[in-house]
Amino acid sequence: MSLRRGNGRLFFAAQSAWAVLLAAALVSGGWAQVASPDAAAPSSSPAPPAEASGGSPACPEGTIHDIQPQDAIVARFSGKDARIFVESCLEHGPAGQTADFDLVLVLSGPDVMGGIVAVIAKGECPLGHKFLGLMEFIHAEQMVQLFQQHPALQAVEHLDLDALTRLAEAGEPVAAFHVGFAKAMGWGTERDRPGSIAWLRRAAEAGYEPGMLALGMALAGPGVLDEQLLPVGKERPRDAETDLVQACFWLRRLADAKHELSPLARGVARDELEDRLTSAERKSCNALLKDRRK
């Protein structure tokens, strides 16, 4: 994943082969909540809107409808759902300026680097846009669903890691996925790779598919879950938490599950594990999968 700053905004770009794979799945229908031929994504970084005399924002750079069209709108969020989505992929916690955002369109198409882009807007005025890593998109979309499903969370104005941790401790696998992902990314807390893996394991063992994917990626080595690219010819490093046998097990288990994330699990396993597994590790992974099928 590459990162650059421009005009006070963050831009991320996921460029791996499996990133393109999921983007294609999104466009073809997976995860889609809204599809529209009028879908739009920014062709350049729009300026923040000026305030009109009546107090509502003016749009000197044009509206969302003026931005170059793309293939599909993957999701459309407004109101609190938009705030939660943006907080979980761009701003984190009460310090964020997410209360200003009342519309988020999440788009996917070949003109968006084979990935996903979020257009953040107030009314029809684009305030900015951000290229999302695929796990960031999955995480943000799942957080919206979590908030919709739990009345206790609906009274919370911002993502609250403590509240979500309590929910995870009570056995909610989506919350465990959030806590694990937040610890992996350092969102609202210190980066904690061992702690992150422990929470992701809870989600995966509960049968939660995004948790399986995230756990397999995390166990494949540092930098996989947050989609860090490596120079050509350089192998992904291993650390104390790397476990390629377990990574293989969880990714292949999801790959065999006929879930909408299964193609991505196969792509990650191919790109991150195929050339790194020793013969002994491959046999151990196959044995774990065979035992589970009995």
Do 96 and 181 lie in a common domain? no
More confident residue, 82 or 188: 82
What end-to-end distance do the CA atoms of the chain give, in Å? 39
Tell me the Ramachandran region of residue 229: left when phi exceeds 0, alpha when psi lies from -120 to 50, beta otherwise. Answer: beta
Mean pLDDT for the chain overall: 78
Write the pLDDT tens digit of every residue in 125-166. 888 888 888 899 999 999 999 999 988 787 777 788 888 999
Do 182 and 71 lie in a common domain? no
Domain residue limits at 17:
2-132
The pLDDT value recorded for residue 53 is 39
Dihedral pair phi/psi, residue 131, rounded to 5°: -75, 125
Do 195 and 123 lie in a common domain? no
- Tell which of 132, 150, 171 closes a domain: 132
Do 164 and 122 lie in a common domain? no
Do 94 and 192 lie in a common domain? no
> Do residues 285 and 252 make contact, with C-beta atoms less than 8 angstroms apart?
yes
The pLDDT value recorded for residue 68 is 62
Q: How many domains does the chain have?
A: 2
The pLDDT value recorded for residue 1 is 26
Write the pLDDT tens digit of every residue in 226-273. 888 888 888 899 999 999 999 999 999 999 998 999 999 999 999 999
More confident residue, 250 or 94: 250
Do 125 and 187 lie in a common domain? no
* Domain membership flag for residue 226: yes
Do 23 and 113 lie in a common domain? yes
Do 172 and 100 lie in a common domain? no
Do 168 and 240 lie in a common domain? yes
* Domain membership flag for residue 138: no
**Residue 115 — very low, low, confident or very high, per pLDDT cuts 50/70/90?**
confident
Report how far residue 215's alpha carbon sits from residue 269's, in angstroms, rounded to the nearest whole number. Answer: 12
The pLDDT value recorded for residue 125 is 81
Helices 244-255 and 279-293 cross at an angle (nearest 10°) of: 50
* Domain membership flag for residue 46: yes
The pLDDT value recorded for residue 266 is 96
Prediction pTM value: 0.80
* Domain membership flag for residue 184: yes
* Domain membership flag for residue 91: yes
More confident residue, 224 or 65: 224
* Domain membership flag for residue 267: yes
In this structure, which amino acid lies at residue 272?
A: E
- Other beta carbons less than 10 A from residue 284's beta carbon: 17
More confident residue, 65 or 269: 269
Q: CATH code at 259?
A: 1.25.40
Rounded average pLDDT over 188-214:
96
More confident residue, 119 or 66: 119
Structure tokens at 12: 């991320």
* Domain membership flag for residue 152: no
Do 165 and 282 lie in a common domain? yes
Do 260 and 204 lie in a common domain? yes
Rounded average pLDDT over 269-283:
95
> Do residues 166 and 103 make contact, with C-beta atoms less than 8 angstroms apart?
no
Three-class DSSP category at 60: coil
Chain-centroid distance of CA 79 in Å reads 20
* Domain membership flag for residue 41: yes
Do 128 and 164 lie in a common domain? no
The pLDDT value recorded for residue 19 is 55
The pLDDT value recorded for residue 290 is 94
- Tell which of 112, 132, 152 closes a domain: 132
